[in-house]
Structure 1
Amino acid sequence: MTARELVVLGTASQVPTRQRNHNGYLLRWDGEGLLFDPGEGTQRQMSFAGVSAASITRICLTHFHGDHCLGLPGVLARLNLDQVTHPVDICFPAAGREFYCRLRDVVPYFAGVREQPVAAAGPIPLPDTAFEFEAIRLDHRVETFGYRLIEPDGRRILPDRLAAFGISGPDVGRLQREGSLRLPDDRVVTLDEVSTVRHGQRFAFVMDTRMCSGVEELAQHADMLVIEATFLDTDAGLAHEYGHLTAAQAAQVAQAAGVRTLVLTHFSQRYADLEDHRLEAAKYFDGELVVAEDLMRVPVPTRR
């Protein structure tokens, strides 16, 4: 099992179909499991996908339309039933707290919940994470936020540079911890001289929105962008009216932002076949293109 992958639990928009369950996306990120927008039926889809409740460490809701949140009670009930002991953060738009409380309170209380209401764009201070997490406001018919996970940059040690300076053994760890090392001949070697930047990875999640600056900001330099493509360009008027994107718009923003893997999802029931979504997006995006299907697993691409 890869340490970083997207498990697609559902790909439908407002109306599910025989092939598409309502939304649900689990991002496995090392020891974390971030569940995004659990729509109706998410608990059952988790069983089909082999996803345990114990693997969930964070739940993130973009907004309070049913296809993005009605699965929350079932997930919370399962966390309680399975006696999950670790805390689970739940991020949600603060303006929808009333709806959140209704969803939370229809099932037995799960004591591990740590609520993280999002009132404005910016960092979300999730405890015990090895990454930065932030919300960006989107443009839908109700208050909606997209989410972005950013792994801080690190450094990769270059063995040939260590050898050139004669550095080995415990001195390597000392150099990494302290940032510099004095050699026996009194030369000082810095960490920058024996390493190179290892860029952290980025994951972005964009649901129900018209094209706006928030979409562009979330997509910037994402290794993986999961984004709604509810409509095709032939229905661009409907997309704008109802606050959604087309496959072409999603692909264009991904190309401009330098996205590596583009995952299209949240498809209207009017499209039985999604080949046109693939063809439309491929006109504008030349990276790895994935038209999501229920229960699909998509690995986060390896580091740049």
Structure 2
Amino acid sequence: MAMVSTYCPQFTGLRRSCSKLETSSPQSFSQHVTSHLRLFSSNKPSRSVAAMASNNKNGTKDSISKLVSDLNSANLEADVDVVVSPPFVYIDQVKNSLTDRIEISAQNSWVGKGGAFTGEISVEQLKDLGCKWVILGHSERRHVIGEDDQFIGKKAAYALSEGLGVIACIGEKLEEREAGKTFDVCFKQLKAVADAVPSWENIVIAYEPVWAIGTGKVATPLQAQEVHAAVRDWLKTNVSADVASATRIIYGGSVNGGNSAELAKQEDIDGFLVGGASLKGPEFATIVNSVTSKKVAA
């Protein structure tokens, strides 16, 4: 089974400048924060596909029960790994009611062993609840909470050492993209992870352009592919060719049931990190199943 994630790496023809952005109707920032969905699929035997949902938008027990019911009854492609990431307070509820077909992720974790860190959640606690994954470096953690690259790298290293898989988020802000610094920003964030972790075996990279959240700017499939290709090339040069080939790179930036199929056709997009659209069970299922379009195109 492939893991739900998205990545688009290419080793040739990389450009240091990024394509012009497209403008569409703005999307509410709050829609991005309620749940995360990852989907992974690939036409290369060494990579699998994944889909992940993560959002923090004012969930309630009743609304989560409805979403879990929709997911339990959805017809999901068997070769796509699906992971959901509910808010901490609902992890136990989701774990106890969601089908085993779908794995559970946390939205964040502490940098080391649990202790007197009031308000934080330790990796050990997450494992106790049955989590298999944790999202680290999400745009809100970086740009709202203020976590820096090195801190995120250390958190990734500790989570991996304790047996959790890591979904490591990277991405540039609007002003950074418009200044032609997309690759520089993403590579700097990647390096902080690479410098800290002992292995890439249980890491999924999620490219999440911050400028695609609530700005009216939407990445085209080719723009997303361009960054995914650059990320894979960075891994090849700075880690190893094997890691570059095997690592799943997923995309998160206003992914929905209408654009997921075209995004999934891109060579280096292995899945998705889904925000607002993951709150709608049927649409989320559409996104999960769209990853198989890569196999059709192969």
Please state which band the TM-score falls in when normalised by the shorter chain.
Answer: 0.3 to 0.5
Larger % of helix: which?
2
- TM-score normalised by structure 1 residue count: 0.35
From the two aligned structures, give the one with the greater strand fraction: 1
